[in-house]
């Protein structure tokens, strides 16, 4: 979960301080939920492909999966031990070089997650 905490922290920070958004939590949690749902769906598609099973995921299943994960993320990041203040104290003194490298890793992770999801959905 640490990677998602870090992505939450970085996107929250960007929306709050660079783009001056009033509600950065919504964007951060939505991005994390999108990544988690696409990762779960990718694993499901790969499992079905390997086992040669045909399973069609309908619209309502997809939406319910997405919103279930989103609700769990809202609960997770509303707790006092995983809010932005705690995450900020953990990573605010991060070296600029490390922050840049981790930023590139986040971009690669997001790109790979979405690419794998799209690719596995078309198998």
Q: How is the chain split among helix, strand and coil, in percent rounded to 5?
A: 80, 0, 20
Question: Is the pLDDT confidence value at 57 over 80?
Answer: no
Distances in whole angstroms, Cα of residue 97 to Cα of each of 49, 74, 100: 41, 31, 5
Mean pLDDT of 77-96: 86
In the chain, where are the structural domains located? 2-121
What is the spatial distance between Cα 57 and Cα 70, in angstroms, rounded to a whole number?
A: 19
Average pLDDT, the chain: 90
pLDDT tens digits for range 17-53: 998 888 899 999 999 999 999 999 999 889 988 988 8
């Amino acid at each position: 979960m640490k990677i998602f905490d870090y992505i939450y922290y970085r996107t929250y920070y960007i929306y709050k301080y660079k783009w001056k958004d009033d509600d950065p939590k919504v964007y951060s949690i939505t991005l994390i939920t999108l990544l988690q749902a696409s990762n779960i769906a990718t694993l499901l598609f790969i499992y079905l492909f390997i086992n040669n099973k045909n399973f069609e995921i309908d619209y309502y299943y997809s939406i319910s999966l997405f919103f279930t994960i989103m609700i769990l993320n809202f609960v997770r990041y509303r707790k006092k031990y995983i809010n932005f203040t705690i995450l900020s104290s953990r990573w605010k003194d991060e070296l600029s070089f490390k922050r840049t490298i981790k930023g590139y890793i986040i971009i690669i992770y997001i790109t790979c997650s979405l690419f794998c999801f799209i690719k596995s959905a078309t198998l």
